[in-house]
Amino acid sequence: MEGDWLLAVHSGAGRYGASNEAAYLSLLRCALESTHRVISSASCPPTAAEMAAHLLQSFELSRLTNAGLGANLTEQGRVECEASVACGETHSVSCCGAVRGVRRPSALALRLLQQATRVEEGDANATFAFGRQPPLVVVGDHARQLARDFGLETATDAELDEFQVTDRAQQHWDKWRRRFRGAETEAEGDEERLDTVGAICMDPRGNVAAALSSGGVALKVPGRLGLAGCPRMGCDAANAVDGRGDGNGSRKRKRSSRGQNKAKNAFAVACTGRGEQFVRSNLVGALARRLARSSDVERALRKAVVESTAANGGRGIEGGVLALVAPPPCTTQMRADGDNVRSVELGVAFTTPCMGVGFLHCRADAEPQVQVELLRRPETSQAQGSDQQQLAIHVSLFRLPVLSQGI
């Protein structure tokens, strides 16, 4: 392994039961360390998109989180999952939604992205001859067959209705059914998971990626899509643009492209929360525009949340955001040993009581630095939204010097 990798994950925003805190922290660490082992043992360098999707594997195979195994159940008592992957290098995003019977939905989203990239690069594929386009978004029953065609683990027809349904998820479903029927009210302190786990990644060459996986909200309408199943509504990523240009071309052409050549930060965003609010407000779009330009990550996060609150009809956005920002290559600093170093920032903003996050900074010449934490919102957090819908914003920042290659 050469150069630095930066991996970050979140386990969702909401309320975490005190009895499960240690298990969540262990799961966050497991996701990071297992992905680091894949990177360290790889015979050829993996892509940032591959590692962003791989970071979600531990969550999708765990009974603890709301993704894959043990996910929230629909009105009909079944698991329907969704996932998405955004690649900053190719400017592409892929999603799957309302998926039943696929063990790892994020792997399906990744395969869609990889397939489309190969076709765009000229790989001969009879399936997509005569100008047919490979899909970037798939939903519904046929997604399971596509996953099977990709060689992914899927359920049989006989297993389908019970696939990924756990006792814990069934109890959670029973509880929400009773509440829906007015049989009981919510108990103070109940654990609440706001539906999405996410990951972001930056490789040694500065390529960034983001990925999400979710089982959706409890008792959801079958076929419903949340932020993980909609392109660029829950995650997004873009590589940096240095803005220097090549110095060639006419003055007229330079003037016409001047706006396009401005330096832009690399960024990756992975959200969690009430999906309809994120879709309605387009928080990710607002945040992406700010992160690409802003040198103040905390301000960008706060401004995007406030701006999206207005787009959400003045109602506060309930959820959280994990964001990575790296300056363009022209701002790198050279150390005495000749290495190029970029100052990378990780920001976490959330409006819920707490949010589980973790990051791993791995270097070729040192042991990986791992940090996992359940961040809790202070009482003094800044409020946003109308008087009736006040939600407090809490922002935490982590700054890391990252060694970069090829820039």
Contacts for 52 with CB less than 8 Å, ≥ 6 apart = 85, 199, 200, 201, 209, 210, 211, 268
Q: What is the CA radius of gyration of the chain?
A: 21
Among the options 196, 309, 332, 351, which is catalytic?
Answer: 196
Bridge partners, 93 (sequence order): 86
CA-to-CA distance for 212 and 110, rounded, in angstroms? Answer: 11
Nearest to 202 by CA among 51, 364, 397, 350: 51
Which of 354, 76, 29, 74 is CA-nearest to residue 192? 354
Contacts of 79 (CB under 8 A, 6+ apart): 71, 72, 73, 100, 163, 164, 165, 169, 215
Assess contact for 8 and 322: CB atoms under 8 A: yes
* DSSP letter for each residue of 335-394: -TTS-EEEEEEEEEEESSSEEEEEEEEEETTEEEEEEEEEEE--TTPEEES-GGG-EEEE
**65 in active site:** no
Secondary structure of residue 20 in the 3-state scheme: helix
Cβ atoms of 351 and 392 closer than 8 Å: yes
**Kind plus residue range of the DSSP H or E element containing 49:** helix 48-55
Distance from C-alpha of 324 to C-alpha of 304, rounded to nearest angstrom: 15
d(C-alpha 38, C-alpha 48), whole Å: 12
- Give the residue carrying structure tokens 């914003």: 393
Catalytic residue annotation:
196
